[in-house]
Amino acid sequence: MEQQYTESDMRNACQEYAKTGLLRATARNWAIPPSTLRIRLNGTLPRSIAYQDYQRLSVTQERHLTD
């Protein structure tokens, strides 16, 4: 199943949860599975950041190539 939300949506949902404290309602508002939102709120990093060490190029090398 393909992800239907963006990292920006996840950040916004985390901010909304911090204001309201309502996990399921916040997850429903942003179309994010409640378990995924709960995991992120517990401190798990986004996949793109968590797996940076396993990429062939570092972030610095990627930026250099794109410039």
Name the more confident of 60 and 33.
33
Is the residue at 2 inside a domain?
no
Number of domains in the chain: 1
**Which value, in Å, is the radius of gyration of the alpha carbons in the chain?**
15
- Domain containing 17 equals 7-66
Joined together, the tokens standing for residue 66 give 């794109």
Chain segment 26-48, per-residue pLDDT in tens:
999 999 999 999 999 998 888 77
Is the residue at 13 inside a domain?
yes
**pTM confidence score:** 0.69
Percentage above 90 pLDDT, the chain: 54
For residue 54, what pLDDT is reported?
83
For residue 2, what pLDDT is reported?
58
Inform me whether the pLDDT recorded for 1 exceeds 60. no
